[in-house]
Amino acid sequence: MRKGFYLILILLFPSILFLIFSLGEHHVVKMGAYGSYRVQDNADTIYKPVPNMVLQDQDGIEFSIDDLKGRPVLFDFFTMPCDEACMKKGVTLVNYLYDVSEKDKWSVVSVCLNAEVNLEDLKSLQNNHMPEMQNWKFAKVKDPNELDAFLEYTFVSTQQLESRSQLPSKHFVLIDQQGVIREFFDSRIHKENKKLQDAIKLLLKEPYMTWKETKR
């Protein structure tokens, strides 16, 4: 009898947990934000989203940053050819993100900084190293000026890098459903990669929760 009770409890636990996150008021500390912002009359801080840019993925399909709004997106930047450090960073992402559920609700975009990269090379990277991550795009930018504006805002204005000459860096950039920068992660540090995994999960739950704001 007792075993049956425990079995039912185990089976119902995911549903109970969902109700807690969906309906309850929580005192979990909300992730911070980066970038330009303005303070409204009611004292709410509104952060500016990253600049829009149009990209083309490994299959030749065009999409923009604005098209991705409504889902958390992790950005990674690399150059071709993808050397050992580049490949290691990709493997790190797969190892930490493969088990994050609801892959239809968040994305990874690896942006090549080379202006003349071939789509075949991007397709090869996706097929040979990350085929199991269908929510992962390898892409190039259509307009170099849009890429410049995006990188300047994302890395330099937030003081993550002194200049664009330091790109590609070891950093991943996570933006939220509104296109606002929420966190940077150093791919070389184990603790940072675990933090990245948790951050995506938090952003997926954020619309259903009441949070305490962090102070920067």
Residue 15 lies in a domain: no
Q: Does pTM top 0.75 for this prediction? A: yes
Is 53 a member of any domain?
yes
Is residue 192 within 8 A of residue 199, CB to CB? The reply is no
CA distance 72 to 192: 17
Q: What is the pLDDT of residues 34-62, one digit of tens each?
A: 999 999 888 789 999 999 999 999 999 99
Q: How many domains does the chain have?
A: 1
pLDDT tens across 87-112, in order? 888 888 888 888 888 888 999 999 99
Q: Whole-angstrom Cα distance, residue 193 to residue 93?
A: 8
DSSP bridge pairs for 171: 186
Helix 84-97 crosses helix 190-205 at what angle (to 10 degrees)?
50
CATH number of the domain to which 138 belongs: 3.40.30.10
In a domain, 112, yes or no: yes
Q: Which domain holds residue 58?
A: 37-208
Residue burial 70-87, b: 16+ Cβ < 10 Å; e: rest:
ebbbbbbbbebebeeebe
In a domain, 123, yes or no: yes
